[in-house]
Copies of this chain bind each other. A is one copy, B any other.
Amino acid sequence: MKILVTGFDPFGDDKINPAIEAVKGLPDQIAGAEIVKVEIPTVFGDCATVVHDAIVREKPDYVLNIGQAGGRFALTPERVAINFDDGRIADNKGYQPIATPIHEDGQNAYFTQLPVKAMVKAIREAGLPALVSTTAGTFVCNHIMYQVQYMIDKEFHDLKAGFMHIPFLPEQVVARPETPSLSLADDVKGITAAITAIVEMDGKPDLQSVEGHIA
């Protein structure tokens, strides 16, 4: 089995992005699966091009995109991506879409094929906080998750894909009081646990555990 794992480069006021740092720190094999690591730009559109090229080149069984979610306390696999770009800030090329669909001919939303409940269980068993999330926001993180699902819909029908957000690093919250963080070592441990769950659940339905949200 081959798993393509991507991480975004730094954006906004931050000089570092835990996503790409954690991806770089992953081993080359997890639970017997080959891990292919790719850095992608924090740029609407361009990030999808890079992932598309990597899928064509590597022919992975799974794609897992990793992104930073400043303010979150836990590792959060995403349930769903929506057909909607709405930038709070501009991307790394200066583009800031406002309330724009990603693809006119795409579904309103796509659900991940990843076993997100098994992933949060595995991360917790590794001693780290995890929650299933039902929003990936409206910036590049939701964008790349949606774009890969759109590729599955239109082109790579057998591919399975999803997204996981990770918190700020401790060094990023030095000047952001009362903001949660998680260490890079724990990011690597948590992503490894999540990928192990993906490999072990391959071909099986996700767990039927209670992970819902009131709101």
Interface of A toward B, CB cutoff 8 Å: 12, 67-74, 79-80, 82, 84, 86-89, 96, 98-99, 107-111, 117, 124, 127-131, 133-139, 141, 165, 169-171, 173-174, 176-183, 185-186, 206, 208-215
Contacts and interface: CB of A to CB of B under 8 A. Distances in A.
A88 B213 CA distance: 6
A84 to B, nearest CB: 7
A124 B208 CA distance: 40
Contacts of A84: 79-80, 111, 134
B178 A181 contact: no
Nearest to A138: B212
6 contacts: A69-B214, A73-B179, A79-B82, A98-B208, A107-B107, A131-B177
Given A67-B215, A107-B108, A134 B135 contact: yes
Nearest to A110: B108
Contacts of A110: 108
B171 A128 contact: yes
Nearest to A69: B215
Given A108-B107, A108-B111, A134 B212 contact: no
A75 to B, nearest CB: 10
Contact of A109 (B109, B180, B208): B109
Given A135-B134, A183-B183, A206-B99, A174 B124 contact: yes
A173 B71 CA distance: 16
B181 A129 contact: yes
Nearest to A78: B215
Contact of A214 (B141, B170, B186): B141
A86 B211 contact: yes
Contact of A128 (B88, B170, B211): B170
